[in-house]
Amino acid sequence: MSTNRRELAEKLRALHEGTLVLPNAWDAASAALIARAGAPAIATTSGGIAWSAGRPDGHGLTRAEMAALVARIVRVVDVPVTADIEGGYDDVAATVRAVVEAGAVGINLEDSTSPGGPLFDVPAQGERIRSAREAATAAGLPELWINIRTDVYLFGIGAPEGRLHDVLTRAGAYAAAGADSLFVPGLVDLDTLKALVKESPLPVNVMVWPGAPTVAELEAAGVRRISVGTAIAQAAYAVAQRAAAELLEHGTCTTLESGLDFGAVNSAVTG
pLDDT single digits (tens) 200-253: 999 999 999 999 999 999 999 999 999 999 999 999 999 999 999 999 999 999
Q: Are residues 160 and 128 in contact, defined by beta-carbon separation less than 8 angstroms?
A: no
Query: Domains (ranges, CATH) in the chain?
Result: 3-232 (3.20.20.60)
The model carries a pTM of 0.95
Kindly give, in sequence order, each residue whose CB lies less than 8 Å from that of residue 257, ignoring residues fewer than 6 positions away.
none
- Given a contact cutoff of 8 angstroms between Cβ atoms, the answer to whether 131 and 93 are in contact is yes
159-202 residue pLDDT tens: 999 999 999 999 999 999 999 999 999 999 999 999 999 999 99
Kindly report the length of the chain: 271
Whole-number Å distance between alpha carbons of 162 and 172: 16
What is the DSSP code string of 55-107? --TTT-S-HHHHHHHHHHHHHH-SS-EEEE-TT-TT-HHHHHHHHHHHT-SEE
Query: Distances from the Cα of 64 to the Cαs of 71, 86, 92, 95, in angstroms?
Result: 10, 14, 13, 9
Contact 122, 150 (CB under 8 A): no
Mean pLDDT, the chain, whole residue set: 96
Give the pLDDT band of residue 117 (cuts 50, 70, 90): confident
Q: How confident is the model over 41-77, as pLDDT tens digits?
A: 999 999 999 999 999 999 899 999 999 999 999 999 9
CB of 35 within 8 A of CB of 73? no
